[in-house]
Structure 1
Amino acid sequence: MKISIDDIKNAKDQSLKIRFDNTVKDLSTEGSVVAELVLKAYGKYINVQGTIVANVKLVCDRCLKDFVKKMKVDVDETYLLGHLIANEDAHSGQELELKDGDFVTELTGTDEVDIDDLIYQSVTLNIPNPCVCDINCNGDAEMEKYMKKEISDPRLEVFKNLKINKLEEGK
């Protein structure tokens, strides 16, 4: 789903409410993704705020079993119509300090906001790491053979037999 910037600017109060209820390409979900979003135009900026709810299909990092996690993601994304840095400043070779308002997505050369991409990125970036099916998951016994066993370095064996004499204070 793509929303035209002109549609946002021509809406009442330059604000457009949308409800997304569909699947998103490359995002493995159970059922559809539901998003309630408000797109608002502020001069050369477009701000998108709202909530995304999705039942995402994941694989547990410990036991490798498939599971579904219900995710609720709050979105607050700002798009810039044009360039953040003027072209002559971009090639000056000087460092540029980013400030709070500089964390935006440039919509250079496009006249629409891609809602599918916004939802995909928002959900993907909020997948927990490590991804576990249950907080008490200790993995599968079958996985035990693939786990790295602690192997001691034979060169360090000499330190196991090393005895250290402690000097008593005052003697």
Structure 2
Amino acid sequence: MSAASSSPALPYKISVLVFLENRAGELLLMLRAKQPNLGVWSPIGGKLEMDTGESPFQCAVREIGEEVGLTVRESDLHLFAMIAENAYQGHNHWLMFLFHCKLPLEALPPDITEGKFAFWTREQIKTLEIPETDAKALWPIYDRYRDGFVALRADCSVSPIQITIEQVTGAK
């Protein structure tokens, strides 16, 4: 029996996360006011509009515009990771596409209904309340692969979360 077939039957969702910086190199995070990740800091992002056939790049462009008011093109984005999260919080499986935006933010965006924003240094982020999967997988991936590409899966049905790298291109 494969690992996938032994996973619980849960809905599968597809989303993007976008890492944005200001000119000082500080990263923009949102203190989430809604689930998933209510009450913790995370990069901006959202779910693909699958009924319209939206691509991950199109979703990232849309989410950046909606959440921070920055107009970007697909060419302003670098896809650096794809993560398949199995049984995240026991509610869903997620396929996430992680992007780094090459355009810097000039100012802190205003708060939105989904949460409030702040810029943080990479060192400060290590002290914030962030999701376990972000601490174990997302931020180490960002640190190591943001200029290349990595595909991995995270088994969130076990503790500690088990991370398996499936492919790496252009690692530091």
Normalised-by-shorter TM-score class: under 0.3
TM-score, normalising length: structure 1: 0.24
Greater RCO (CA < 8 Å, at least 6 residues apart):
2
Normalised by the length of structure 2, the TM-score is 0.24
